[in-house]
Amino acid sequence: MRVEAIHLRAPDAADVHEVGTAEAIAGKGLEGDRNFFDEGARPGLALTLIEADVVREVGLAPGSTHRQVTVSGTGLNDLVGKKFRVGSVECYGVMLCEPCLHLQEMTRPGIIEELVHRAGLNADILTDGAISVGDEVVEL
């Protein structure tokens, strides 16, 4: 798998913006994102990832799933309970990121059913570093 896109949302902004690189801070999240926690993120909230093919299959625009990192290839679900690396950043797959009513309200009816068990991965960031478009995602 490779990073295809990175989308961040500022804490005080409703819009999502695409970036080429994001700074990952262990235990806190991606700098500049609404889910960056100075005091430390709850387990699984530091980083979210989703497979690009799933996003395209359900007809959503890139970034509209509110997952930060979109990857090409498959296998995100296999990373639950495992360490993996995104570029040079070591992460831990905490749980599947299941679709929610909020996502459905922002997109369209029926999206929850279409994304069950394939709406992405919630992960912890274990080491600081940059995550960039083109970086490999590798299980450790």
Is the separation of the CB atoms in 29 and 125 below 8 Å? Answer: yes
For residue 79, what are its two tokens? Answer: 């990373």
Distance CA 140, CA 127 (A): 14
CATH code that applies to domain 2-139 = 2.40.33.20
Amino acid 95 reads M
pTM of this prediction? 0.92
Confidence of residue 13 (pLDDT cuts 50, 70, 90): low
Q: List the chain domain ranges.
A: 2-139
Q: What is the mean pLDDT of the chain?
A: 92
Span 45-96, pLDDT tens digits: 899 999 999 999 999 988 888 899 999 999 999 999 999 999 999 999 999 9
Cα 51 to Cα 12, 74, 95, 117: the distances in Å are 27, 6, 15, 12
Is the separation of the CB atoms in 22 and 68 below 8 Å? Answer: yes
